[in-house]
Amino acid sequence: MFTSTKEHFITFEGIDGCGKSTQAKLLLEKLNEEGCKSILVREPGGTRISEAVREILLTKGMDELQNRTEALLMTASRAQLTDEVILPNLHKGNWVVADRYTDSTLAYQGGGRELNLDWLIKLNSFATNDLNPDMTVIVDIVPEEGQRRRASDNPDRIEKSGMDFQQNVRKMYLEIAKRFPDRIFVTDGHETIENIHRKIWNEIKRRYFL
Selected from 19, 40, 43, 168, the binder of ligand TYD by CB under 6 A is 43
Selected from 179, 193, 205, 209, the binder of ligand ADP by CB under 6 A is 193
CB 174 within 8 A of CB 73: no
CB 193 within 8 A of CB 30: no
Pick the stretch among 25-33, 42-50, 184-192, 194-202 that binds ligand TYD (CB under 6 A).
42-50
Q: Is 148 exposed, middle or buried (0-12, 13-18, 19+ CB in 10 A)?
A: exposed
Selected from 7, 21, 68, 85, the binder of ligand ADP by CB under 6 A is 21
Nearest to ligand ADP of 22, 167 (CB atom): 22
Minimum distance, C-beta of residue 204 to ligand ADP, in the bound complex (Å): 18
Which SS3 state, helix, strand or coil, does residue 185 take?
strand
Give the torsion sign (CA, 165, 168, 174, 178). negative
Minimum distance, C-beta of residue 50 to ligand ADP, in the bound complex (Å): 17
Report the distance separating Cα 19 and Cα 30, nearest Å: 17
Dihedral angle over CA of 185, 187, 193, 197, nearest 10: -30
Tell me if 196 contacts ligand ADP by CB under 6 A. yes
- 110 binding partner (options ligand ADP, ligand TYD, none; Cβ < 5 to 8 Å by kind): none
Give the footprint of ligand ADP on residues 126-185 (CB under 6 A): 149
Chain residues binding ligand TYD by CB under 6 A are 16, 21, 42-44, 58, 74, 100, 104-105, 108-109, 156, 158-159
